[in-house]
Amino acid sequence: MNLANALGLLAAPLAAAPAAAQAVEPLLLMNPTTGWSVDYAEDSCVLRRSFGSGEGTALLELRQGGPGDSYELTLGSDTLASARRTPRVYHGTDTDWYEPARPSLLSSGNWHAVRFNDSLRPAALKPKDEAWPVWPNEDRDARETAVDQITIAGGFERDLTLRTGRMHAPMDALRVCTRELVTRWGLDPDVQDTLSRRVTPIQQAGWTRQMLNAYPLDMLRKGKSGRVAIRLLVDVNGKPTQCVATKGMAEPSFETAACSGAMRYARFEPALDAGGQPVASYWLTTILYSVP
């Protein structure tokens, strides 16, 4: 089952649970029950693989809206009991947990899932409140080759370890897909790979607040929250020229509000090519609408 269809319509932000509620049973190890598949969607690229054990099954999705090492992770199941605990994750044999910012809990019938932004980077290279440092390709490749499982705590009553197998080959397949996305946007992927500066938001906190203040009234009346992944194309003057929301990941009202707000308020320093000249590029972000 595609989690975007099964879970994308009902989302709620997760709050940290009291420490006393964090105790869980030992890890539940889950082996793959399918191979990796890559979905070349219109507006994103998605890796999917199913996992199972004698106690339940789960579906893992890693979604990217463009090139980079970060992705939106969704882990869902219709056989495992959910829990409103703040998720944490670590990869392979890491000893440091990473607690993602702005996770969401999703539900649809018997399906439950947790969704958050993550990367295969070690936790120390994933600061929460600042831009991530450049991750050299050779370090990235070595890390992807070493990581062969993902452990996720929170979202479900049991902590889960998914035995993914070594991640370099599936992440390479995802990179092929995202380069094709860039070409479809009318950009040169070779130029985008060698930027000396990526698109940089200007006073982002201020205009993000303006976007969130324009909460869709129909969603507010229904008490609904939403999580919207958007992509902006940004011209050589730093002005957004196009906004696209990942389809099926949120209610249409949230998608419309996010793109309308971004096109109206967002401003950037333009990307610079390898020679330091402004070039058209793109910017990806996730907007979390939370009912007050």
Residue type at 272 in one-letter notation:
L
Q: What is the pLDDT of residue 26?
A: 67
What whole-number distance in Å separates Cα of residue 282 and Cα of residue 9?
26
Whose CA is closest to 87, among 77, 72, 102?
Answer: 102
Q: What is the pLDDT of residue 25?
A: 58
* Contact (CB, 8 A) for 289 and 219: yes
Per-residue pLDDT of the chain in tens (292 residues, 90 and over written 9):
444 444 443 455 554 444 334 444 568 999 999 999 999 988 899 999 999 999 999 999 999 999 989 999 999 999 999 887 889 999 999 999 999 988 988 888 899 999 999 999 999 898 776 677 889 999 999 999 999 999 999 889 999 999 999 999 999 999 999 999 999 999 999 999 999 999 999 998 899 999 989 999 999 999 888 889 899 999 999 999 999 998 767 789 999 999 999 999 999 999 999 999 999 999 999 888 988 6
Q: Burial letters for 111-148: b for 16+ Cβ neighbours within 10 Å, e otherwise?
A: bbbbbbbbbbbbbebbeeeeeeeebeeeebeebbeebe
Whose CA is closest to 31, among 69, 57, 64, 61?
Answer: 57
pTM attached to this predicted model: 0.85
Whose CA is closest to 181, among 41, 287, 70?
Answer: 41
Domain regions of the chain by residue span: 3-184, 193-289
- Calculate ∠ Cα 226-266-251, nearest 5°: 20
> Domain 193-289 is in which class?
alpha beta
* Contact (CB, 8 A) for 98 and 123: yes
Task: Provide the angle, in degrees to the nearest 10, between the axes of the packed helices 137-146 and 168-184.
Answer: 130
Q: What is the pLDDT of residue 21?
A: 42
